[in-house]
């Protein structure tokens, strides 16, 4: 009997982005229908809230910020995660002296400043950046916007907290300690988390498999829905 698949979405979105998948999706704290609690601002605190909503054991898929949370959960509670899927995920969002597959600190700060001035415009720009360079970009953007329209926008404080997680989190050591069979999938033209970051995860998580989808951006499960679903099913059935 197969285990349930649980999906964790990315920054600024909600669980409805996974409507096309046969899965249980959970809103991140302060996103969608999940109320915001300032005590849940850190990555560890958000992971604790999510683990409380998850089945006792499941396959876990995380996308972008949700991928970082999934990495932490799989490392912190290995008995709860049977198989791990990381979509457009990076262990370290911001570049530093030892990590080049990330956003510059200066650009990250400008993004944070823009969020503080006009969070609606910042989220809208972020959605457009997610689909840039991908096949079926228009339809993918429509699906992202639909999720927000139908299930609700994130709380502004949750957006700021998520951005701070992305700015500070470094999950390279956690990735090396993952025990679950892992599949890492990237978009060739991802403008937010470079494919090189996914390549690093595939090379450093023990036994992980990696796939880069050509002409895909940051949301390959939307722009390449049939290909993504088929590859996901093959991994979950075989692992």
pLDDT digits (tens, 9 = 90+) for 88-142: 999 999 999 889 999 899 989 998 999 999 999 999 999 999 999 888 899 999 9
Catalytic residue among 190, 198, 223, 224: 190
Whether pLDDT at 239 is above 80: no
189 is catalytic: no
Residue 144 phi, psi dihedral angles, 5° rounding: -65, -45
CA distance 75 to 62: 13
2 is catalytic: no
Catalytic residue among 9, 31, 59, 64: 64
Quick one: pLDDT at residue 238? 85
Whether pLDDT at 68 is above 60: yes
Q: What is the CATH number of domain 5-238?
A: 3.40.50.1820
- Give residue 217's pLDDT band: very low, low, confident or very high (50, 70, 90): very high
Asked if residues 33 and 41 have their Cβ atoms less than 8 Å apart, the reply is no
Of 72, 71, 99, residue with least CA distance to 85: 71
Asked if residues 182 and 208 have their Cβ atoms less than 8 Å apart, the reply is yes
Domain borders along the chain are 5-238
Quick one: pLDDT at residue 2? 82
Q: What is the pLDDT of residues 152-187, one digit of tens each?
A: 999 999 999 999 999 999 999 999 999 999 999 999
Catalytic residue among 9, 72, 155, 218: 218
Mean pLDDT calculated for residue range 50-56:
97
User: What is the DSSP secondary structure assignment for residue 56, as one 8-state letter?
Assistant: S
Helix (H) or strand (E) holding 174: helix 172-176
DSSP 80-98: GEEEEEEES--S-SB-BTT
CA distance 147 to 170: 29
Give the burial class of 215: count Cβ atoms within 10 A of its Cβ; 0-12 exposed, 13-18 middle, 19 or more buried: middle
3 state DSSP class of 229: helix
The whole model's pTM is what? 0.97
- Averaged pLDDT of the chain: 95
User: What is the DSSP secondary structure assignment for residue 218, as one 8-state letter?
Assistant: S
27 is catalytic: no
Quick one: pLDDT at residue 1? 56
CA distance 67 to 60: 9
- Give residue 225's pLDDT band: very low, low, confident or very high (50, 70, 90): very high
């Amino acid at each position: 009997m197969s285990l349930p698949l649980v999906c964790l979405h990315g920054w600024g979105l909600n669980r409805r982005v996974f409507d096309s998948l046969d899965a249980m999706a959970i809103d991140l704290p302060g996103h969608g229908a999940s109320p915001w609690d300032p005590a849940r601002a850190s990555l560890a605190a958000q992971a604790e809230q999510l683990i409380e909503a998850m089945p006792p054991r499941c396959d876990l898929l995380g996308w972008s910020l949700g991928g970082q949370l999934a990495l932490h959960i799989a490392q912190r509670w290995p008995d709860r995660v049977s198989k791990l899927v990381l979509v457009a995920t990076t262990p370290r969002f911001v570049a530093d002296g030892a990590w080049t597959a990330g956003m510059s600190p200066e650009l990250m700060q400008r993004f944070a400043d823009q969020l503080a001035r006009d969070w609606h415009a910042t989220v809208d720009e972020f959605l457009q950046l997610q689909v840039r360079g991908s096949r079926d970009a228009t339809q993918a953007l429509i699906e992202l916007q639909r999720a927000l329209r139908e299930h609700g926008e994130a709380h502004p404080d949750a957006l700021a907290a998520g951005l701070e997680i992305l700015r500070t989190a470094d999950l390279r050591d956690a990735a090396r300690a993952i025990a679950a069979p892992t599949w890492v999938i990237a978009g060739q033209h991802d403008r937010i988390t470079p494919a090189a970051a996914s390549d690093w995860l595939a090379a450093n998580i023990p036994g992980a498999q990696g796939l880069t989808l050509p002409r895909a951006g940051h949301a390959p499960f939307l722009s390449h829905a049939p290909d993504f679903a088929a590859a996901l099913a093959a991994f979950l059935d075989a692992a």
